[in-house]
Chains A and B, each alone.
Chain A
Amino acid sequence: MKRITLAAVAAALALAAGPAMAAEEGQQASGHGVEIAAQDWSWDGIFGGFDQQQLQRGYYVYEQVCASCHSLELVAFRNLHDLGFNDEQVQAIASNWTVPDLDQETGQAITRPALPADRFPSPFPNPIAARFANNGALPPDLSVIAKARADGADYLYALLTGYVDAPQGVDVPVGKYYNAAFPGHIISMPPPLSDGRVEYIDGTPATVDQLARDVSAFLMWAAEPALVERKELGVKVILFLIVLAGITYAVKRKVWSDVEH
């Protein structure tokens, strides 16, 4: 009886943990009726981490394409060290951006080149201006977008590569676009990527597929910068707990060895 109960509890716990391990960084099932295909990502699996080269490429896609409409408010330039950029490179990248500030003598509103400590500036001063410039649609902030959508990076990739011709009979309003991955399929964002839209320094061919993959990876990093640290610590914690479970089980067996139960 004891053994059966133990096995049942173990099985229940395994059942609880199973889907979690399979789901990885994914969120709960989507629920908007569009099947999103799972992609292979460098961070898949227990030991998976980020590919810094890919994150750097993804950053350039964000900088040259997405940033014209989408903010990245929660990410600071100093965070780009995670992508493998050194101090000079981070400073150089930051100085390409202009951030609002106050003149420390006169108190007048000014702009200045960004410093590594600054966060990414937003392309629009406020949501009203953002809507006005985008045909009434509000481009969402991208800082945690990879966690704010069901299927995460898989969804972002599917969305960016999902611009196809509308099926027969689907009426796409003027200024809107048809997207296979978007819930409801009618999206306000024009197709942002095209082959060669960004010129990669490392010579990787800049196909739409590659651009979408790289920027999705970059946005996964932006949403979950501690992912690598988390998994590395997790492996150690679980190994420790497994050893501890073995020791406590041995202690329990020893303690109970003189009692029939």
Chain B
Amino acid sequence: MSGPSQPSQFTGAVGWIDRRLPVFSYLEKEYRQFPAPRNFNYFWNFGAIATVMLVVMMATGIVLAMQYTPHVDMAFNSVERIMRDVNNGWLLRYLHMNGASMFFIAVYIHIFRGLWYGSYKQPRELLWILGVVLLVLMMATAFMGYVLPWGQMSFWGAKVITNLFSAIPLVGDSITTWLWGGFTVDNPTLNRFFSLHYLLPFVIFGVVILHVIALHVVGSNNPLGIDPKSPRDTVPFHPYYTAKDSFGIVVFLIVYAAFVFFAPNFMGHPDNYIPADPLLTPAHIVPEWYFLPFYAILRSVDFDIWFIDAKLGGVLAMFGALVVLALAPWLDRSPVRSCRFRPVYRWFLVLLVIDLIALGYVGANAPDDEILSGLGITWLDLGHIAMPWYFIHFLVVMPLVGKFERPLPLPLSIRDAVLPTRGGAPMTTAAPSKQA
């Protein structure tokens, strides 16, 4: 401790504050000087984009909550009142509704970026786990938010998901009753979901801060997956990446705006414009699109595994899918991070993406419907292949490919790789010893 007044590079009022609460020093160090590898591609925009979406969701959500009524008899009509009678209420509501989907799009691309370039590997394991925690928190928040308009899918989605907890042996039914606040999904359930839906974004915000702190300790990964070795491998975060992120954010907002203004219900389900009716089950209960792969994993376990019955097995598989994702840093045995230098694993990762898209379709369709009529192959059959493959990827492919794959030679440094010879002549006089 060096006394009450820390020295500061700032003067005047800013310096006075900074010597007592070093927020300006912090911003200077973490968002201006923070050395970022000079070779980010546009995949590195999606962290900033996801942060923007979180802020948009919180801002629109707080205003929507001023008009929304969490009561089973009034929730549906209060949302419609927002759409019809509140000034620009339709805009707020459509921003929030489509914002959830756009948030997930940003986060899924962000996760894919992490997987492709090996951002989860040592020393970023905790950073990665905090990311998976954020994903789980987002899923919980999105699920509870979808219940609030109290349409048919809200109600029946809530019923299906909360019922999952009844699969827990011995105490399952008691836990479900406790979650509901009654003996079925009813007014207490809606009330607590509203309360938690308002709370969780602030928890997410807190974990985002931890995620960013962890990032700033170890520094960013980059498309080459090799560590910066000298200041010549990096650029200051500002203005280089603030400028690049700004452009990426605006492009993302164009897509977001296209949905909000020209196809606001495209990613929703028509049944959620039917008020909830506990006595009338919809023909197909489907969750929002971003849950479909996980929903497919849940439903594809329709067989008993030894003493675990199918229902519990499905629930364990669904949560297990997130657990194996969190364990990726230890499951992947390859010392090389970036798929750019992993000629075998990169194709398995492409296959994983295809597998998840297939699972999405499995989740969206009725299990017993045929994929192509006449072929006799149902969506459930596809699920029986795609669901195990997800786990095989993490539990078998990741360790084994990491062990046996021969990675391509890595460049000596980031600067080496980004300053190739052009027209046969080195670009700079400070030519690296070995041309990439």
Contact = CB atoms under 8 A, between A and B. Distances in A.
Given A148-B274, A234-B260, A242 B254 contact: yes
A73 B80 CA distance: 11
A244 B253 CA distance: 11
Interface residues of A, number: 57
Interface stretch (A12-20, A156-164, A187-195, A196-204): A12-20
B384 interface: no
Nearest to B264: A230
A144 B259 CA distance: 20
Interface residues on B, range: 35 or more
Contact of A25 (B83, B255, B258, B265): B265
Interface string B18-60: 0000000000000000000011011100000000000000000
A248 B270 contact: no
Contacts of A9: 42-43, 251
Nearest to B340: A1
A98 B274 CA distance: 26
B270 A230 contact: no
A174 interface: no
B69 interface: no
Contacts of B427: 260
Interface stretch (A34-42, A54-62, A250-258): A250-258
Nearest to A7: B42
Interface stretch (B166-174, B213-221, B237-245): B237-245
B269 A28 contact: yes
Interface in A131-175: 140, 143-144, 147-150, 152
A92 interface: no
Given A234-B257, A248-B250, A259-B38, 4 more contacts: A21-B263, A234-B258, A245-B247, A252-B243
Interface of B: 38-39, 41-43, 77, 80, 83-84, 90-91, 94, 105, 223, 235, 239-240, 243-244, 246-247, 250-255, 257-271, 273-274, 283-284, 418-419, 427-428
Interface of A: 1-2, 5-6, 9-10, 13, 16-17, 19-21, 23-28, 31-32, 46, 73-74, 79, 140, 143-144, 147-150, 152, 183, 223, 225-226, 229-231, 233-235, 237-238, 241-242, 244-245, 248-249, 251-252, 255-256, 259-261
